[in-house]
Amino acid sequence: MSRIAYVNGRCLPHGAATVHIEDRGYQFTDGVYEVIAVRHGVLIDGEWHMQRLQRSLSELQIDMPMSPAALNVVLKETVRRNRFSIGIVYVQISRGVARRDHPFPNPPVRPALVVTARRTPPTPAKTIDEGVAVISQPDIRWERCDIKSISLLPNVLAKQAARSQGGFEAWQVDGQGFVTEGGSTNAWIINNEGSLVTRPVENAILNGITRRRLIALAKAQGMQVEERPFSLEEAKSAREAFLTSTTAFVTPVVRIDDAILANGRPGSQTLALRQLYVDFMAETAT
């Protein structure tokens, strides 16, 4: 069965789905996006994703193309038409189509909306059993990483650098030597006291929905969570480390650059946190 995409009010075969060449998302990366995990037709933490989407649009002064309730219907219908049990739905909203000019169109144009959905394969058992490696990179991104913008070229370069060096992810490091986040994930460590440590919500990072959910789940289990900056050196000497995202869930990190963490195997606390999140998704989708 061919995939189906939603483009500006129409459901189309994925291969025939197009946008105008003067869409400002194409010309200027003038837009935002969300990626939402789907389990058996249920959008995992869909309300939180919708809230973040609205915030990102507001920060860029782009109107919602329809009400949140109507957009939720579009997302679920796109998932239904693509007929899968486990996957993701992707939503992108740009400022719209206008003659190429840097300032916002005046009068404003209608925002453009694209929605796609696809099944995703399960995380390879090897990834969880053996963990992954990350490299460090200077953080060269702009100062509004809290906006989930489609302007992702620095993230692309960071991810490619990691892949070129045999790594899974690149942890970006600010001018003070503190880890901000990965190219497409949030970064975490577990210190010697067993506390979960992750960068606080600020302009330097995106407030990941999986990050947000894991904090809530961990606190409900009585775990200590510290939202504070941590240095690259602290990360390399941590008891455990992991990363989170909509597609990676909770993935153990066993090497940072040339530093092997602990015994070089995924830590028990990280694996317990991953199971906690997987159980949450299963319960949400029932």
Condensed to tens digits (0 to 9), the pLDDT of residues 120-157 reads 999 999 999 999 999 999 999 999 999 999 999 999 99
On whether both 31 and 131 belong to a single domain, the answer is no
| Cβ contacts of 128 within 8 Å, gap of 6 or more | 251, 252, 266, 271, 274
Condensed to tens digits (0 to 9), the pLDDT of residues 167-204 reads 999 999 999 999 999 999 999 999 999 999 999 999 99
Mean pLDDT of 30-45: 98
Percent of the chain with pLDDT over 90: 99
pLDDT-derived band of residue 1, with 50, 70 and 90 as boundaries?
low
Last residue of one domain, picked from the residues 119, 144, 179: 119
Please give the residue range of the domain that contains residue 133: 125-284
How far is the C-alpha of 117 from the C-alpha of 138, rounded, in Å?
33
159 catalytic? Reply is no
Question: Has this prediction a pTM greater than 0.95?
Answer: yes
CATH of the domain at 112: 3.30.470.10
Total of domains in the chain = 2
The pLDDT score that the predictor gives to residue 37 is: 98
Which residue in 76, 148, 159, 219 is the catalytic one?
A: 148
On whether both 144 and 257 belong to a single domain, the answer is yes
Mean pLDDT of 244-249: 97
The pLDDT score that the predictor gives to residue 175 is: 97
How far is the C-alpha of 97 from the C-alpha of 77, rounded, in Å?
25
CA-nearest of 159, 169, 239, 245 to 197 is 239
CA-nearest of 280, 274, 219 to 245 is 274
The pLDDT score that the predictor gives to residue 60 is: 98
| Cβ contacts of 115 within 8 Å, gap of 6 or more | 5, 6, 7, 74, 75, 78, 89, 90, 91, 92
On whether both 171 and 228 belong to a single domain, the answer is yes
On whether both 178 and 262 belong to a single domain, the answer is yes
The pLDDT score that the predictor gives to residue 71 is: 98
On whether both 264 and 162 belong to a single domain, the answer is yes
Last residue of one domain, picked from the residues 119, 147, 166: 119
The pLDDT score that the predictor gives to residue 2 is: 80
Mean pLDDT over the full length of the chain? 97
Find out whether the peptide bond into 107 is cis, omega within 30 degrees of 0. yes
